[in-house]
Amino acid sequence: NGRWGDKRQSLVIGSVETGPMTIYELPFDHVSTNIFIRDEYYDILSLDGLSGDRSISGGFILNDRKSEDVDRKIQFHANSTLEVPKYARLAGPELPEILAPYVFETPPKIATSGTVEFRDTGIAEDVETQVESKGTFRFFEFPVQNAAFNVHVKNGTVDVSDITGEFGSGKLTATVHSEEAQAGRTVQFKAKLEDAKLDEAATAFTDFRRRSSPDAKEPVESLLSGKGTLNMEAEATGPASDVWGFTGKGTATIAHAELGHIRILGPLSKLFEGTILNFSSFRLTNADAVFTINGDRLVFSKLELTGPSAQLRSFGNFRMPTSELEFNTTIFPFRESSMPVMNVLGFVLEPFSRALELRLSGTISKPKWAFAAGAAVPKYEPVKPPALIQQSDPATEEPATPPAEQPKS
């Protein structure tokens, strides 16, 4: 009831139920709602929609009246299993673009609530959201299985907490902080991966690299092969618009693997033909790495591969989009052998380890090894991230050529 044409004098109480319809060109099979409208105050007491086997339910209050002490604002709550970001238009025309980096293989379960105020100084929001998905979830193309996380958005700052999921069948936990800066939106993350399967994690990373750099010439293939367990921690900061623009640091370990079988080390057997060493018999089962993230490069200040009969010490650069390699490597044979005579022989040969200094170049699929002797063979210098040069963290210190002393077991 009320006066025609005067919305401030109107009063509407009622309910609506329909069959198939579209809202913002989004299809629904069924929609029902209960409403209360009075003097530019809209209370959608309940809103339920079905689209196939997906649904949304919730409600919102829109106070469209502006006064000296009250801003226009929306309060809302909803639970949804609709497709994201397609159905995000229901909450505003700008949301699909904002949510474009969030790609769900299966529409997730979402519970959200919050307030948006339209102030004279701009829009202020305070929104809490819980997300749970099955299958593959991609964030800027990085794949996580069975992800769950909480999102808090307040006045343009985004905090993603309690991130859990799987990567390479390992447990992934992380936090993300994002905010607007003068040069654009920035993202800061911390992540930890535990007990991942080496071959599965390598395959997933290769797929991420292909999706992030479609023009890369390197063939799509697993970076590592065989069994083994991977543990990793990393943290970095960079622009939200450039996945290869981050700087940070991290550590990684590999255990119980057969690293001597990976493609990178294959050509070493040919390099040592005609010498007393038979590299194909070296067993390398564990790895330990300290690195910095410098844009599209991982800069390793420490990369050690160890096993019952040998150790490789390396430092250098790995360019992620193209898999280019620039590494200095020293080989220590007969390390940690179960035969005492081999330990003695390793000690005797240790002073000659400089003769086993190598340079690794090329790419993952086409690695090139060469002895370090001669001025024509370069020594690769790790490239430091500018923002980390002044830090004293071990991951950012200038690596030195591996020493010739007998390494400790």
- The rounded distance, in Å, linking the Cα atoms of 399 and 301 is 5
pLDDT of residue 336: 45
Burial code (b: 16+ CB inside 10 Å, e: under 16) for 263-289 equals bbbebbbeebeeeebebeebebbbbeb
Looking at residue 398, what is its pLDDT? 45
The confidence score (pLDDT) of residue 339 equals 44
Q: Which of 115, 109, 86 is nearest to 24 (CA)?
A: 86
Question: How confident is the model over 78-136, as pLDDT tens digits?
Answer: 999 999 888 888 877 777 777 888 889 999 999 999 998 888 787 888 999 999 999 99
Q: Looking at beta carbons, which pairs linking 14-21 to residues 24 or more positions away fall under 8 Å?
A: none
CB 101 within 8 A of CB 185: no
Question: Which CA distances in Å does 199 have to 134, 204, 236, 282, 325?
Answer: 22, 9, 24, 20, 20
Phi-psi region of 140 (alpha: psi -120 to 50; beta: other; left: phi over 0): left
In order of 178, 312, 314, 331, the CA distances from 403 in angstroms are: 42, 12, 11, 11
Dist CA 60 CA 58 (whole Å): 7
User: Which residue's structure tokens are 């991420």?
Assistant: 208
pLDDT of residue 323: 84
- What confidence score (pLDDT) does residue 171 get? 97
Reported pTM: 0.78
Kindly report, residue by residue over 191-217, the tens digit of the pLDDT. Answer: 999 999 988 888 888 788 778 776 655
Q: What is the CA radius of gyration of the chain?
A: 29
Query: By the 8 A CB rule, do 75 and 42 touch?
Result: no
Residue 390 is predicted with a pLDDT of: 42
Amino acid 317: pLDDT? 93
SS (H, E, C) 139-170: ECCEEEEEEEEEEEEECCEEEEEEEEEEECCE
pLDDT mean values, one per 10 residues, the chain (409 residues): 55 86 91 87 89 94 74 89 88 75 91 88 88 91 93 91 95 94 89 93 81 61 67 94 91 88 69 60 84 94 86 90 89 56 47 67 87 66 54 42 43
Instruction: Report the distance separating Cα 240 and Cα 385, nearest Å.
Output: 18
How far are the Cα atoms of 130, 256, 277, 279 from residue 334, in angstroms, in the given order? 54, 19, 10, 11
